[in-house]
Chains A and B, each alone.
Chain A
Amino acid sequence: MLGEIIGLLFILSGVTFCALGVLGIMRLPDVYSRIHASGKVAILGIFGLLAGTAILLPEATLKLLGLGVFILLTSPVASHAIAAAAYRSGVPLKQATRDDLAERNRAIAAEE
């Protein structure tokens, strides 16, 4: 009985982090902050669910571990690729106080 309660608590935390991430996706002003919010869903939300499932379904822990490691490796790379694609395809930064990449690109362009 105790194991189920702990598993359900993990699932509850996973679902709440997913909800917070999705709320961030709806409310945040521009693409880059939304990518930051989607990182919450990918890592905190899914890992809470995986931990809860590992407790509730003990025979699947090895598969869940594999899935968790795979998501841990691929999700940051995917988020970075989206942010780089957004910047290169010219999505404006809202409320940006500094844009270091633009200055660096201008410096490179000036050298050529």
Chain B
Amino acid sequence: MSTLAANLVQIAVIVMIFLLMPCAWRAFKGPSPADRLQALDTITMLLIGIIVLLAVVQGSSFVIDVALALSAFSFVATLAIARYLAEGRLF
């Protein structure tokens, strides 16, 4: 990985972090709770992208397990909240 490539990947990480702001704004403003749930789902998906890019920046493949765990948790959480929204009960 030449230093130029490492710098460019770091710039990509910074751009992805700036992409989180509109999702947080949508999560704050969203009229209905479903908006907030959808914005949170997008935030976790962007975080998975950021973690994968950080794995490239650090050059260690260990970090990708974090992204895998986060995607598993975000899936279960999204389904649980969606079920609570739709039917008012969780279990």
Is there contact, CB below 8 Å, between B5 and A53?
Answer: no
Residues of A contacting B49 in the complex (Cβ-Cβ under 8 angstroms): 14, 18, 45-46, 49
Residues of A contacting B9 in the complex (Cβ-Cβ under 8 angstroms): 8, 11, 56
What 0/1 pattern do residues 85 to 98 of A give for CB contact below 8 A with B? 11011010000000
> Is B90's CB within 8 Å of the partner chain A?
no
Which of A25, A78, A82 lies in contact with B22, CB distance below 8 A?
A25
Q: What's the tally of chain B residues with a CB closer than 8 Å to chain A?
A: 48
Residues of B contacting A107 in the complex (Cβ-Cβ under 8 angstroms): none
Is there contact, CB below 8 Å, between B16 and A18?
Answer: yes
Cα A79 to Cα B37 in complex, Å, equals 10
Is there contact, CB below 8 Å, between B19 and A19?
Answer: yes
Cα A86 to Cα B78 in complex, Å, equals 12
Of residues 1 through 27 on chain A, the ones whose CB sits less than 8 Å from some CB of chain B are 1, 4, 7-8, 11-12, 14-15, 18-19, 21-23, 25-26
Extra contacts besides A23-B22, A34-B35 (9): CB < 8 Å = A1-B2, A21-B42, A38-B41, A50-B52, A52-B56, A67-B64, A77-B79, A81-B78, A86-B32
Q: Which residues of B contact A (CB under 8 A)?
A: 1-2, 5, 8-9, 12, 15-16, 19, 22-23, 25-26, 32-35, 37-39, 41-42, 45-46, 48-49, 52-53, 55-56, 59, 61, 64-65, 67-68, 71-72, 74-75, 78-79, 81-83, 85-87
